[in-house]
Amino acid sequence: MPSIKTHRHGVCNRLQTGWFTTRNESTLFFRVSEEIKKLDRKTPNIQDVARLAGVSTATVSRAISNPSIVTEATREAVFDAIRRTGYQINLTARNLRRRRTGAIVVLVPNIGNPFFSQILAGIEQAAAPAGFSVLIVDTTQPHAADEQVFAYLHNTRADGLIVLDGSLRPCLLDRLDSAEAIPPVVFACEWIPGSSFSRVMIDNPAGAALAIRHLHELGHRRVGHIKGPSGNVLTETRLEGTRSAMSELGLEAVPEWFFQGDFSLRSGAEAARRWLALNERPSAMFCASDQMACGFISELSLAGVSVPHDVSVVGFDDIDIGQHFIPALTTVRQPRIQIGATAAELLMERINNGANAHARVDRTLDVELIIRQSTAPVS
């Protein structure tokens, strides 16, 4: 059998003349030509994605527009096929068809706080494959006055809103609750008690209880707590879990051992100075955030106090620096990427839910205790 050239132009010339040496060569040339036609098509389409993922085009469409209604395996297969084919959703045409903007707005209280990085990554990971752009508004910046923030909430500017700030001003919240033109809203991490909006949250009281029980198991009976800012829902729910666990374990909640903080490094350092000034000091401290725990430990180190030899410390959040801190921080881990992804998926469900777009849905995620080197048995 003669050699068969598969060079594109050679194949095309021989196909045009209809000349082939044998029947087998003819069949092979036609097969090659079909593959060339596939390669010649410059823009991958939804049929390519469906064929590669092994699903129907309708399933591909559902996985893109409403990921939560398909199984995780199907969703992964579809998005993997999208990446491999290079398929691009025609967002402009789709949004015009649906009368949407293709944008999700995220309100963040201080974008410089490292806690929010993975949550924002989780939002992006869920929203981008579905064709949504993510716009971030820092609510602590001077330009983020009520009118500017509210402008982002109109349904001509965004299809949905994720709020990570539980300290929104009451007047703005009232406008959100009563406005007819706003898109669906989902609160994540923080929320405002009594509001009618959907929420994605962790079990904060259970997380605080994990920390207190861990310290109790290490033999600590004098346990203190650094709280978050007054009036904050995370402060209150973690304080609730702390007090409840201490009561169950028979630990005395000494008022002088409960320090006011605001989730920042600075307030953790201030709590350390107050701890140093005590005549009788707690042998263990549970901090309502990792940043406060790091500030607390750093200030004690400057004063020559050793963690965990002199005092054990537990944080809350599991921010990235915690595992690299000296000593590495024992903490309550929040599934931050999952929080962001769940919030985005819930919001997209609301966006696609038509008449029930504003119906409230709550989702609570579990936490876990990560034991590192900042806690030790009482000495």
Q: Mapping DSSP to helix (H, G, I), strand (E, B) and coil, where does residue 41 land?
A: coil
Q: How far apart are CA 201 and CA 334, in angstroms?
A: 10
Q: What residue type is 341 in one-letter code?
A: A
Confidence of residue 61 (pLDDT cuts 50, 70, 90): confident
Read off the amino acid at residue 318. Answer: D
CA–CA separation, 81 vs 53, rounded Å? 6
Tell me if the domain spanning 204-335 has CATH number 3.40.50.2300: yes
Q: Which fold has domain 92-201+337-365?
A: Rossmann fold (3.40.50)
Q: Which two tokens stand for residue 290?
A: 């990792």
Q: What gap in Å lies between CA 79 and CA 63, rounded to an integer?
A: 8
Largest CA distance in the chain: 101
Q: Are 288 and 225 in contact (CB under 8 A)?
A: yes
| pLDDT score of 170 | 58
Q: Look at residue 1 in the predicted model and tell me its pLDDT.
A: 42
Q: Provide, rounded to the nearest whole percent, the portion of the chain with pLDDT above 70.
A: 75
pLDDT tops 50 at residue 57: yes
Asked if the model's pLDDT at residue 330 lies above 70, the reply is yes
d(CA 309, CA 317): 23
Tokens standing for residue 17: 């003349």
Query: Above 90 in pLDDT, residue 217?
Result: yes
pLDDT at 32 (0 to 100): 42
- Please determine, for residue 56, whether its predicted confidence score (pLDDT) is greater than 90: yes
CB atoms within 10 A of CB 330: 26
Q: Tens of pLDDT along 81-125?
A: 888 888 876 554 454 445 556 889 999 988 888 889 999 999 999
92-201+337-365 and 204-335 share one CATH topology?
Answer: yes
Pick from 70-74, 285-289, 296-300, 329-333: least confident:
70-74
pLDDT score, position 11: 41
Where along the chain do its domains lie? 1-40, 92-201+337-365, 204-335
* Predicted local confidence at residue 257, as pLDDT: 98
Residue 348: name the closest of 73, 119, 130, 191 by CA. 130
Tell me, what DSSP letter sits at residue 252?
A: -
pLDDT in tens, 2-36: 443 444 444 444 444 444 445 555 555 555 455 44
Distance of alpha carbon 273 from its chain centroid, rounded? 34
> Hey, what are 125's tokens?
């990971």
Listed residue (110, 186, 99) closest to 144, CA to CA: 110
In sequence order, what DSSP letters do the residues of 222-245 get, joined into one string? SEEEE---TT-HHHHHHHHHHHHH
Separation between Cα atoms, residue 73 and residue 37, nearest integer Å: 31
